[in-house]
Amino acid sequence: MKEHLSEQQLNDWILGQAGSDAIGHMETCANCRREAEELKGALDGFQASIHGAAEGYRLIWHPPAQRERPVWSRVMTQRWAYAVALGAIFVMSVVLLRFDHRQRPHPVAHAIGESEILMQIQADVSDYVPSALEPGELLLAAGEQPPPTAPPGRKTPKSTRR
Amino acid sequence: MTSMLQVVEGAIGDDDRRAASAALLEDFDSVVLQHQQRIHRVLLGMLRDSDAAQTLTQECFLRAYESRGRYRGEASVSTWLIRIAINLAHDYHRNRRLGFWRRLFAGDNDVGEMAARLPSDAATPEQDLLAKEKLAAVWSAVERLAPQQRAVFVLRFVEQLSLEEIAAATNLKLGTVKAHLFRALGTVRKRMKEWQVSP
């Protein structure tokens, strides 16, 4: 008994690409012929249903009104325009990043600045002379010159005695 | 002289086709008239939804009209339009959000409608019913196909395009087209057998 057609041979037959062996077999084998025709009939029905459904279809076609496209739209349809735009964005990003980098103080420099200020405050605090001692301070600043002696019989002010 | 119909059907030489196709696209109304049925059928087969097929047919011609200046005549007008239609159908399938609502409301009405349109040459009402059930089985198998396979299947078995034409319309290699067709036929045959066991 002859073997039946393989799935591939049946597919080839459906697609109209079967070899002479398969065509010859199909003429003699009722089983293969029935199977192939069953499938072919179903496919024909599928085709007929779509053709039937689309038969009365008629597209109502109105071409869209011609509009003058804006310049940027016309330019941006060109590929080179995209390349130029990307390049410009890149350059701008680099420039902005560098500018921002210069404006922002360096964190280490910032720390040094703070410590210097603190030291300055500390020095100012330690150099603070109470108002009562200011005359003496002035004297020291003026050099080692002795202060003019007060005329005899004159009392020293109370504040200096305190 | 090159006739408009020759250009549409792609039955002329390459140079003639390029020159004439460019001229043809100036008269876009003829293109619509000539191809609307085919594009609608392709979309109907791919989407199984009459409303969506009509909407996308309109969209297909709109896109073709807008990009007609870029048409170089490398493929026939028909192939070019089918390619646009297939891309639209793929986009439609990809839209998952719409898909949810579509599945929710669609049901199987369109399959029923299309089955009812099957030309009835059956001798008895039982045979008629059987034929419609068989058609519904094919539709359910087609729906299981991947979008690319479905496109190839529809172009072959609805539009009777050659494998080369299908390859041009889908941007696939000839071998890939064959593989898709074989798999699609395998799925349909399997579904038919299931239906024969339990119709």
Instruction: List b or e across A65-86, with b for residues whose CB sees 16 or more CB atoms inside 10 angstroms.
Output: eeeeeeeeeeeeeeeeeeeeee
CA distance A28 to chain B (A): 22
CA distance B193 to chain A (A): 10
Residues 6+ apart with CB under 8 A from B109: none
Q: Do B54 and B75 meet the contact criterion of CB atoms below 8 Å apart?
A: no
pLDDT of residue B13: 60
CA distance B115 to chain A (A): 6
- Which chain A residues are closer than 8 Å to B160 by Cβ? 47
Can you tell me the distance from the alpha carbon of B1 to that of B21, in angstroms, rounded to the nearest whole number? 13
| Shortest CA distance from B36: residue in chain A | A59
* Cβ of residue A14 closer than 8 Å to a chain B Cβ: yes
pLDDT of residue B156: 95
Q: Measuring CA to CA, which residue among B150, B13, B133 is closest to residue B93?
A: B150
Can you tell me the distance from the alpha carbon of B93 to that of B75, in angstroms, rounded to the nearest whole number? 25
Would the CB atoms of A64 and B50 count as touching at under 8 Å? no
CA distance B13 to chain A (A): 27
One-letter identity of residue A102? R
| Shortest CA distance from A44: residue in chain B | B157
The two counts, helices (H) then strands (E), for chain B are 11, 0
- Name the DSSP letter for residue A78: S
Would the CB atoms of B134 and A61 count as touching at under 8 Å? no
Q: Measuring CA to CA, which residue among B90, B89, B82, B42 is closest to residue B61?
A: B82
Confidence of residue B8 (pLDDT cuts 50, 70, 90): very low
A71 membership: H or E segment, kind and range: helix A71-75
Q: Do B38 and B78 meet the contact criterion of CB atoms below 8 Å apart?
A: yes
Reported ipTM exceeds the 0.95 cut: no
- Name the DSSP letter for residue A5: P
Can you tell me the distance from the alpha carbon of B57 to that of B42, in angstroms, rounded to the nearest whole number? 9
Task: Give the CA angle between residues A39, A42, A47 to the nearest 5°.
Answer: 125
* Cβ of residue A53 closer than 8 Å to a chain B Cβ: yes
* Cβ of residue A6 closer than 8 Å to a chain B Cβ: no
Burial of B168 (0-12, 13-18, 19+ CB in 10 A): buried
Q: Which residue has the higher pLDDT, B193 or B1?
A: B193
Q: Measuring CA to CA, which residue among B152, B167, B173, B137 is closest to residue B45?
A: B152
Going residue by residue through chain A, which has 162 residues, state the pLDDT in tens, using 9 for 90 and above.
Answer: 458 888 888 888 888 888 888 888 888 888 888 888 888 888 998 999 898 888 888 888 877 776 556 666 666 667 778 888 899 999 999 998 887 776 666 666 666 677 888 888 888 777 666 677 777 777 877 876 555 555 555 555 554 444
Confidence of residue B84 (pLDDT cuts 50, 70, 90): very high
